């Protein structure tokens, strides 16, 4: 059964996933009568708890091992998602499962075979990539699924070179659908979980073997003893192994081990992880009596079970392999060292050679004191406590240490009447240790400025206080300099950003300044380019930069040294005249100057006149038609119409002229009508005029 449903109920009696065998109607009543018995059996199915039947207790797999499963406790833990199948009307569960976990040591394809001991049994399977995941994530994370096969076909199943490249969903056994899927591609270093589900509650078991693929799932690392740690009393040894070892290869009487020299004899060996797993990586060995202080070897041999310790592939630790260790009868201890402190430390770590009993640490920090160039107050003491033990004591300070110098950590455990003990019950002895603190630093900098006409030169300086020995200048996010001082050039008109990072090897600081320059001397002024002969010219200075001298030249008419001179009148000579207007500006301190010349047209008169004829033949004479001298015509509109009333020209700019065309097409010779309206700027009077013009070609 993939999971409980009426279809699956019928399947138990030969009807799978809606498929009805011949004679179904004859047995329908019998099936329904048996429902009560079946349903009660389904309801009391247990949640899986036997080793190997849950993802977190999976069998460790070696590619060379054939797994023989002859008995399977009846259970089910959760529903499963099957890609492409869930939602097809069948329910899927890890019913009566066993799980197998393995690591890929060489990328390639995975082939395996599940062979039922009874060819009439139905087995299903699903493969997961659980790399970096809790194994139980298979119930909630659909992305972990690699491939599967849930065919209702009886007999062997697995992954092979001839298998189908899709997941076969739950099916009618009579359909004999593919029970083999194609071999999945495994990735090196990834961890995989294979679930084998037993469809029926009564089955005779199966054999699981791996082969046919190119992936390597056999660990090449050989087993060895790695480290021995005696307990405080010298009567228990914790042996750390370099890899996982089979739990069933360890003899409970400790007969795999010998102590040399033979001052004590192992009497038992246990692996705590073996209560929840098939393999372990550490063993606790109990001796018949405590060891005296001295140097020893732990030597391995064949135990009462006929072997040393075996890894998951059956590889044994070589008989006679030995590992050195020392046991020293516990004595009162001193601190090893004080942890390296950074910039402005607000805590100090004191390390010890043995773990400290956390409950013996006074939280007020009264067992410790600190003296130095500036007063330091300890606010509290604690540890990084795991299972009530810590490797170091953390002294939390009331405020950080900002001033550099040598400080002394004074340890007076028990001064407050509450001694500090290590895990072996030995007291921590009084002592003093020195620490060196660094001064905090400032990145503040100064600079001098040498102004120029086009470029300014700035020299930046840092004082190097508090042992600063590293400087990193960044100028406008591009130029980078690593010296204590630097000279840089900037445009006389510019906005700039200068950043500095400094460090003394422990403490660092950074700062940034914005520097804006506007000392470039640049001449500029506003004026009209055309005026009437009776009007005065008004100019307005728009120059920029640091300026202290202005010199205006109104052609041959006048000069002025004022920044904004009074209006200037020009001679009345009854003809249109062009004048040069020039401004020279200076900064006498920097010896910087700049000049600008503009041209002024003074009209012969400002009487608005519209010609009576024009000849647009491109000979340079009378080629255009427009209202002349309309400089004082505000709100001007000038229109020209042909004899059919079609507007051929329209403008609000008196200097815009008609060339006798419409969209580039020359208009014929003849009489055209014009209309002119405007407001006289001097009088404010509105004027409307009309007339005709002869276009001559």
What's the pLDDT tens digit per position in 159-202? 999 999 999 998 888 888 999 999 999 999 999 999 999 877 77
The phi-psi region of residue 52 (left if phi > 0; otherwise alpha if psi is between -120 and 50; otherwise beta) is left
CA dist 328 and 282 (Å) reads 22
CB 615 within 8 A of CB 588: no
Predicted local confidence at residue 25, as pLDDT = 28
Share of the chain above pLDDT 70, in %: 93
Predicted local confidence at residue 43, as pLDDT = 38
- 363-375: per-residue pLDDT in tens? 999 999 999 999 9
The phi-psi region of residue 130 (left if phi > 0; otherwise alpha if psi is between -120 and 50; otherwise beta) is alpha
Outline where DSSP puts E strands in 339-454: 347-357, 368-371, 378-383, 389-397, 405-411, 431-437, 446-450
Q: Tell me whether strands 76-79 and 470-475 are parallel, antiparallel or unpaired.
A: unpaired
Domains parsed from the chain with CATH numbers: 6-210 (no CATH), 225-327 (2.60.40.1220), 337-437 (2.60.40.2180), 446-518 (2.60.40.10), 525-602 (2.60.40.10), 613-695 (2.60.40)
Helix (H, G, I), strand (E, B) or coil at 254: coil
Confidence of residue 415 (pLDDT cuts 50, 70, 90): low
- 259-294: per-residue pLDDT in tens? 999 989 999 999 999 989 999 999 999 999 999 999
Confidence of residue 87 (pLDDT cuts 50, 70, 90): confident
Q: Which of 242-246, 264-268, 333-337 has the lowest mean pLDDT?
A: 333-337
Is the pLDDT assigned to residue 12 strictly greater than 50? no
Quote the Cα angle for 33-38-39, to 5°. Answer: 100
CB 185 within 8 A of CB 159: no
- 353-365: per-residue pLDDT in tens? 989 999 999 999 9
Q: Which of 64-68, 484-488, 539-543, 582-586 has the lowest mean pLDDT?
A: 64-68
What is the CA 12 to chain-centroid distance, rounded? 53
Predicted local confidence at residue 206, as pLDDT = 93
- 30-67: per-residue pLDDT in tens? 333 333 333 333 334 588 889 999 999 999 998 888 99
Confidence of residue 19 (pLDDT cuts 50, 70, 90): very low
Predicted local confidence at residue 554, as pLDDT = 97
Is the pLDDT assigned to residue 418 strictly greater than 80? no
- 614-668: per-residue pLDDT in tens? 999 999 999 999 999 999 999 999 999 999 999 999 999 999 999 999 998 999 9
Q: Which of 126-130, 151-155, 472-476 has the lowest mean pLDDT?
A: 151-155
| The overall pTM is greater than 0.85 | no
Q: Tell me whether strands 279-287 and 294-300 are parallel, antiparallel or unpaired.
A: unpaired
Predicted local confidence at residue 29, as pLDDT = 31
- 303-319: per-residue pLDDT in tens? 999 999 999 999 999 99
CA dist 277 and 286 (Å) reads 22
């Amino acid at each position: 059964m993939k999971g409980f449903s009426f279809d699956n109920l019928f399947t138990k009696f030969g009807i799978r996933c809606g498929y009805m065998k011949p004679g179904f109607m004859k047995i329908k009543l019998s099936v329904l009568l048996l429902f009560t018995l079946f349903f009660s059996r389904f309801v009391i199915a247990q949640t899986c708890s036997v080793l190997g039947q849950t993802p977190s207790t999976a069998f460790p797999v070696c590619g060379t091992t054939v797994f023989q499963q002859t008995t399977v406790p009846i259970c089910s833990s959760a529903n499963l998602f099957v890609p492409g199948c869930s939602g097809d009307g069948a329910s899927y569960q890890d019913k009566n499962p066993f799980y197998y976990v393995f690591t890929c040591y060489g990328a390639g394809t995975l082939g395996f075979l599940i062979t039922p001991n009874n060819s009439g049994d139905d087995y299903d399977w699903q493969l997961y990539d659980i790399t970096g995941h809790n194994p139980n994530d298979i119930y909630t994370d659909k992305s972990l699924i690699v491939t599967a096969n849930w065919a209702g076909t009886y007999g062997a199943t697995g992954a092979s070179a001839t298998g189908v490249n899709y997941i076969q969903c739950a099916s009618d056994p009579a359909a004999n659908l593919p029970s083999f899927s194609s071999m999945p591609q495994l990735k090196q270093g990834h961890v995989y979980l294979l679930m084998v589900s037993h469809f029926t509650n009564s089955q005779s078991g199966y054999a699981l073997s791996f082969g046919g693929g190119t992936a390597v799932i056999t660990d090449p690392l050989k087993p060895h003893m790695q480290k021995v740690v005696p307990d405080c009393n010298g009567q228990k040894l914790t042996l750390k192994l370099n890899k996982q070892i089979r739990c069933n290869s360890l003899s409970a009487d400790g007969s795999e081990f010998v102590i040399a020299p033979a001052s004590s004899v192992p009497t038992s060996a246990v692996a705590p992880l073996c209560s929840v797993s098939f393999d372990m990586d550490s063993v606790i060995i109990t001796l018949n009596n405590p060891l005296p202080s001295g140097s020893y070897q732990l030597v391995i041999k064949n135990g009462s079970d006929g072997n040393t310790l075996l890894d998951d592939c059956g590889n044994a630790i070589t008989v006679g392999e030995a590992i050195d260790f020392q046991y020293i009868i516990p004595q009162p201890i001193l601190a090893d060292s004080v942890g390296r402190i950074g910039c402005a430390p607000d805590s100090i770590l004191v390390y010890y050679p043995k773990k400290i009993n956390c409950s013996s640490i006074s939280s007020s920090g009264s067992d410790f004191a600190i003296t130095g160039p500036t007063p330091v107050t300890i606010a509290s003491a604690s540890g990084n406590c795991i299972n009530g033990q810590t490797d170091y004591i953390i002294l939390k300070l009331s405020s950080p240490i900002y001033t550099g110098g040598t400080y002394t950590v004074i340890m007076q455990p028990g001064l407050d009447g509450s001694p500090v003990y290590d895990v072996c019950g030995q007291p921590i002895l009084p002592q003093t240790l020195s620490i060196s603190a660094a001064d905090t630093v400032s990145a503040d900098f100064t600079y001098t400025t040498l102004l120029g006409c086009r470029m300014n030169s700035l020299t930046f300086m840092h004082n190097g206080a508090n042992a600063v020995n590293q400087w990193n200048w960044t100028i406008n996010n591009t130029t980078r300099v690593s010296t204590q001082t630097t000279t840089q050039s900037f445009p006389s008109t510019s906005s700039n950003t200068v950043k500095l990072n400094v460090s003394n090897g422990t403490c660092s600081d950074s700062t940034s300044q914005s520097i804006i320059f506007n000392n470039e001397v640049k001449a500029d002024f506003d004026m009209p380019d055309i005026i009437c002969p009776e009007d005065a010219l008004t100019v307005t200075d728009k120059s920029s930069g640091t300026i202290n001298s202005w010199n205006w030249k109104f052609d041959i008419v006048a000069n002025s040294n004022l920044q904004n001179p009074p209006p200037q009148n020009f001679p009345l000579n009854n003809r249109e005249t062009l004048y040069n207007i020039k401004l020279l500006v200076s900064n006498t301190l920097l010896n910087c100057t700049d000049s600008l010349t503009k041209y002024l047209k003074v009209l012969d008169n400002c009487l608005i006149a519209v010609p009576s004829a024009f000849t647009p033949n491109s000979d340079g004479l009378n080629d255009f038609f427009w209202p002349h001298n309309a400089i004082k015509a505000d709100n001007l509109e000038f229109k020209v119409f042909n004899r059919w009333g079609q507007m051929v020209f329209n403008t609000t700019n008196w200097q815009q002229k008609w060339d006798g065309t419409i969209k580039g097409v020359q208009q014929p010779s003849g009489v055209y009508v014009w209309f002119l309206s405007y407001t006289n700027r001097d009088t404010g009077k509105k004027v409307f005029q009309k007339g005709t013009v002869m276009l001559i070609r």
